[in-house]
Amino acid sequence: MTDNKIVNENSKTEQLALFKAQNTGPDKKMTSDTGMKISNNQWSLRAGKRGPTLLQDFHFYRKQSHFNRERIPEKVVHARGFGVHGIFECTRSLREFTTACFLQEPGLITPVFVRFSNFIGSKGSKDTAVDVRGFATKFYTREGNYDNLALSFAVFAMMDAMKFVDFVHAIKPNPVTDVPQASAAHDSIWDYIVNNQETAHFIMWLMSGRGRPRSYRMMEGYAINTFRLINEQGQPTFVRFVWKPVLGVHTLLMEEANIIGGVDPDYYRHDLVEAIERGAYPEYLLGVQLIPEQDEFKYDFDLLDDTKLWPEEEVPVQIIGKMTLNRLVDNFFAEEEQSSFDPATLVPGIDFSHDPVLQGRAFAYRDTDYHRLGTGNVEEIPINQPLAARNYNQRDGYVRQRIDVDRVHYHRNSLAGNTPAETSPVEGGYTHYPDPVDGQVTRERPSDSFEDYFSQARLFWNSMSPVEQQLLVETFNYHVGKVENPSIRQLVVDMFANVDQGLAVQMAASVGAQPPRGTHVAVTTASPVLSEANTSYSPATQKVGVLLGHGFNGPEVKKVLDMLEKNKVFYDVISEKLGPVSAADGTTVEAKKTMITTSPVLYDSLYVVGGQAMDQAKFERDISDYINMAYKHYKPIGISAAAQPAIKTAGNQAGVIFAANNPNFESEFVAAIGQQRFWNRT
């Protein structure tokens, strides 16, 4: 098994290293895509110096025609993505439940590729739009690839894949004007919601902080479908997978998300790149929720209903592994843009349930990529190639890279000894669980509990802290307030009165609707793990903006920066202009940001040092603006002794840490950074 670990982890890296060695270096000469050396790549072939270009200039033709095809159709959904490489280590054997090879032995390492993405917007949209996000993981196992497709929400917007097209049409931009981009703040989607009220639970997640994560590194991933694990004895267990970020689940305020979308549309990408380049590798724990086959009907939710979560208080999450993302892609297009994920890409030991959404996704994903990538040879693209050996009879088609030299490409045969041969289940061949099926052909809900749209939406509301509930109300008011049709606004208010009457009353007052006539469903239970108040908190990788000018207190700043580095806190030195900034004792720090090249919303905390600038009045106004924005967003602020006049000392100072006469300033400031928000501010 040790050998398998080494081969499994290194094979992909070795392939890439070999490619780089062949195609990089100071002596590299330009060639065509056929390997022909190019003597002139600057001028097209013409009939005379001032004559027309000749059709026989095949180099120009190939260069231009390839350029014309550099863009492939973007994804209809999840178009804006970012991919990174990493490893997954099994920490607990699931041999009791599954034969899946990568979950058999603690310590077994499997290389992975992960693609994070937004759902609504196009490739050019902003990172921080209020949206559900994708969290797709490709495991390169020794028995072939396994794709685990997750979302940042525990639930989906529909109960059957038949409605997916309608939901996407409704939430996408107006087909006449093509606006708004990457937003659910328009009439069409809310018209869909009130007429398809199974969306209620999903919309509660969307309007909560979960719709605007602080970072991909601080976002959960839920494989919302119900699968089966199959063990060596052929016994099934229902399973749902969940990724838990080690840094905890943290989110942006809606105002922050809106502003960041303008000042840094690539905010999540920058965050992920910075963390990996600094060696602060994003880490996630893989958990499973397991329900024995005999307990399928034990719960008040249907296991096949993707608009319902499995409450962790009833079905605990068991941690079985850890994923570490430790390498950026070498080429975005070749790896991220051409990556293909499919919930039907399985390994022995993992199988489908009769989940109606999963059944539809099993067809839709691969068919989509056959169209988008323009070929049936999706797995020929290097990022999608498995590490396991491949022997199959499909041939030809676009992007065929393998050179097949055998003349026999059919099954069964005598000329090639009936190879490639089938593998028996005993030897690891994939088999589907022989689930008995009996009934009439029909189009109807699998069970009556599918018609319960509001109980778990109410549970989600009950699980939020008072602060989270108020922020959720504000997000509703923002989105529904942009709906132009008053009857739709009224229907939204009436619909969400089923979730919480107080929520609906506040919404009605904000969006010009009548108070709801109904009241919420009689559900009093909560799931505390759904609240951000109960996640893990740490100062590690929180980002601090250090505001300083010339003449600052060198020893004080050095102690603070040393403390930040000791606690793995990221920071940027921000000053009037780029370059070295001198302290009173002659030491210098390098300012890599200026007040106009960055923004206070890009930082989790501020350390205000102050100092001298060429335009002192403007410098102090900028510092004041930074402080006011950070204070407004409940963020911690550290104030040096010299900068104390920059902040008002009256009022609520929760999370404002002063250095003057404070021997514990550095440790108190780091503790405040770890707390992240101070909601008790006025």
Please, which residues bridge with residue 288 across strands? 241, 318
Res 646: pLDDT: 76
Domains in the chain with CATH codes: 81-157+212-383 (2.40.180.10), 454-533 (1.20.1370.20), 537-675 (3.40.50.880)
Joined together, the tokens standing for residue 409 give 């490409």
Partners of residue 147 on adjacent β-strands: 138
Phi, psi (deg, nearest 5) at residue 181: -90, 135
pLDDT of residue 337: 95
- pLDDT at residue 440, rounded to an integer: 81
Structure tokens at 51: 């004559």
DSSP per-residue codes, 209-250: GGGSBS-GGG--EEEEEEEEEE-TT--EEEEEEEEEETT---
Helix (H) or strand (E) holding 656: strand 656-658
From the CA atom positions of the chain, what is the Rg in Å? 28
CA distance 605 to 599: 12
Ranges in the chain, pLDDT < 70: 1-26, 649-651, 682
Paired sense of beta strands 656-658 and 318-328, if any: unpaired
